[in-house]
Amino acid sequence: MALSFSVLKLRDFRLILFTRIFGMMALQAQAVIVGWQIYSITKDPFMLGLTGLVEAVPAILSALFAGHLVDNGRPHKIFLIAMGVLTLNILMMLTFTGGFVSLGDNHTIILIFTGIFISGMARSYIMPASFSLLPQIVSRNRLPSASAWMSSGFQLAAISGPAIAGIIYGGYGAKAAWMIPAVLIFLAFTMLLLLSSKPRKYRSRQVREPALQSIIGGWKFILGNRLLLSVMALDMFAVLFGGAVAILPAYADQILKTGSEGLGALRAAPALGSIITALFLALNPFRKLRATVLLAAIAGFGFCMIGFGLSKVFWFSMLMLALSGSFDSISMVMRSTLMQLLTPDAMRGRVSSVNSMFVISSNEIGAFESGLAAKFMGIAPSIIFGGVCTLIVVTVTYLISPKLKQTVVKADELI
């Protein structure tokens, strides 16, 4: 237990943790505001899904180069620049889509999608930079606990960001709501500036490697480590079909008949379940990482999404989303811990960038899939269909990957 709390005594870890919390709160609040604004203007669930695609395209296209840049440069500097871009981007959206400058609906939609595109590009640099910095702040024997605390921070942001943004939007409108992510992203940028000199000056390698050679080397490492590749792919395909966050504005409006306040609560529900689980895992870090636990957690996520799609009652919908977040948290902590323990320092940026491509594919492209399915199948049937697809992915993986389901990784042997 002492080991689990001791990581919080590290000043730089606290700063990187709060950078994650404030930054993700800002982005989660932005997602709620953007979703409600787009749906209020268009009343089209497909447009909600399109936001995911617009964010995913630049993120995926930038990811491999971002990993190369992080491994051949200073991760802190790259992290700081990316956070600066996000700060300026949110200020732009506050000014033009928040109502400080009056625009028509068409121009507002264009600026929103422009902001989403910029946000996706900036985030592709943040993930590998933060992944590379963490082991320079936290010793390897504390990485399982640190990963769980970072996951807890992420989920805390996912709870509070949407809830606050939804309440402010419902009570005071877009202008006041956009102030929330603007203040939060500035706080995240400030926390990152305060890191000590060691992580600020850190380089994983002193000799630069050509970009193409560096990128190919990263892919070779991933493809040669079947455990990491299998875990990333399983999570990607399961969440790609099973996620329903993007169409929550339409679900809140048409199924549950609630407003932006209800939408904020629905967006926060998965994170509520997730943070409880992540905090438990932070205090009780994994000593053995079993693939069967990962498969069971993803299957539980699929069942929850089916229950959510069948629900027409607000409290039961909240319960299903909270449970889905709990199962997803187990998957997230296991995946991030394995990545940190199995990746050498010189490869961290590129491995994280490849993982970001999997994560973006499952989340943002999954959002596009959700919007497309909702348009042609209807909102509730598309959610149920996604949950069933998740169960199919887990079942097929279990049947065709006997080595994966037998895998047990002992953390103490890797540190």
Instruction: Output phi, psi for 274, to 5 deg.
Output: -70, -40
Nearest to 121 by CA among 70, 64, 55, 67: 55
Compute CA distances 252 → 169, 203, 285, 301, 304, whole Å: 15, 47, 36, 20, 17
Q: What is the pTM of this model?
A: 0.71
pLDDT of amino acid 243:
65
Residue 2 has pLDDT above 70, yes or no: no
The average pLDDT across 141-161 equals 79
In angstroms, the CA 167 to CA 165 distance is 6
Compute CA distances 260 → 40, 45, 168, 210, 296, whole Å: 10, 15, 9, 49, 33
Residue 264 has pLDDT above 50, yes or no: yes
The average pLDDT across 287-298 equals 79
Residue 89's pLDDT band (cuts 50, 70, 90): very high
Residue 206 has pLDDT above 70, yes or no: no
Other CB atoms within 10 Å distance of the CB of residue 395: 13
- Whether 146 and 134 have beta carbons less than 8 Å apart is answered as yes
In angstroms, the CA 276 to CA 281 distance is 9
The average pLDDT across 101-118 equals 85
Token pair listed for 404:
């994966």
Return the percentage of the chain with pLDDT > 70, whole number.
85
